Amino acid sequence: MKKSFLVCTLLLLGLQTLRSQEVINMMFYNILRYPTVGDASRIDDLQAILEFSEPDLFMICELNNETGANNIETMMQTLNPNYVAAPYWDTVSDDTGNNSNELQNLIFYDNTKFILEDQDVVVTYLRDFNHYTLKLNTVNQNTDPILIHVFVCHLKASSGSTNEQLRLDMALDFTTYLNSLNSDAHVILAGDFNVYSDNEPAYQEFLNQNNVITLLDPAERPGEWHNNVDFIDVWSQSTHATAGGSYSSGGFDDRFDFILASGNVLDGSIFSYVQGSYVSVGNNLNPNCFNQSINSSDCDGVLYDLALREHLFNMSDHLPIQMQLSFSDNFLNMPSYELNNKDFELEFNQVEGILKVEVNSRIFGNESYLLIYNIMGQLISETAVGTDSTIFIQTDSLAAGQYMLKSNLSDYPPQKFIKY
62-97: pLDDT as tens digits: 999 999 999 999 999 999 999 999 999 999 998 766
What would the mean pLDDT of 161-186 be, rounded to a whole number? 97
pLDDT at 4 over 60: no
Q: Which region among 152-161, 227-236, 259-268, 375-384 has the lowest average model confidence (pLDDT)?
A: 375-384
Residue 13 has pLDDT above 70, yes or no: no
Neighbouring C-beta atoms of residue 100, cutoff 10 Å: 11
DSSP state of 244: B
Q: How many residues does the chain have?
A: 420
pLDDT at 411: 66
Domain-by-domain residue ranges, the chain? 8-17+334-419, 23-327
What's the mean per-residue pLDDT of the chain? 88
Percent of the chain past pLDDT 90, that is, above it, reads 65
Question: Does residue 112 contact residue 331 with C-beta atoms inside 8 Å?
Answer: yes
The DSSP string of 321-360 is EEEEEEESS-BSSPPPP--TT-SEEES-SEESSEEEEEE-
Whole-angstrom Cα distance, residue 232 to residue 213?
A: 29
Q: What is the DSSP letter of 233?
A: G
In this structure, the number of other CB atoms found within 10 A of the CB of residue 390 comes to: 10
pLDDT at 6: 34
Which of 37-41, 116-120, 232-236, 376-380 shows the lowest per-residue confidence on average (mean pLDDT)?
376-380
pLDDT of 378 > 90? The answer is no
Q: Which residue has the higher pLDDT, 418 or 49?
A: 49
Give the mean pLDDT of 29-39.
95
Band the pLDDT of 357: cuts 50, 70, 90.
Answer: confident
| Residue 410 vs residue 322, higher pLDDT | 322
Average pLDDT estimate for 178-207: 97
CA distance linking residue 247 with residue 239, whole number of Å = 8
Q: Is the pLDDT of residue 322 over 50?
A: yes
**8-17+334-419 CATH choice from 3.40.50.920, 2.60.40.3080, 3.30.230.10, 3.90.650.10:** 2.60.40.3080
pLDDT tens per residue, range 260-273: 999 999 998 899 99
In this predicted structure, the answer to whether residue 354 has a pLDDT above a threshold of 90 is no
Averaged over 29-40, what is the pLDDT? 95
Topology of domain 23-327 in CATH is Deoxyribonuclease I; Chain A (3.60.10)
> Using one digit for the tens of pLDDT, what is the confidence trace for 272-300?
999 889 999 999 999 999 999 999 999 99
Asked if 23 and 350 touch (Cβ cutoff 8 Å), the reply is yes
Is the Cβ–Cβ distance between 63 and 37 less than 8 Å?
A: no
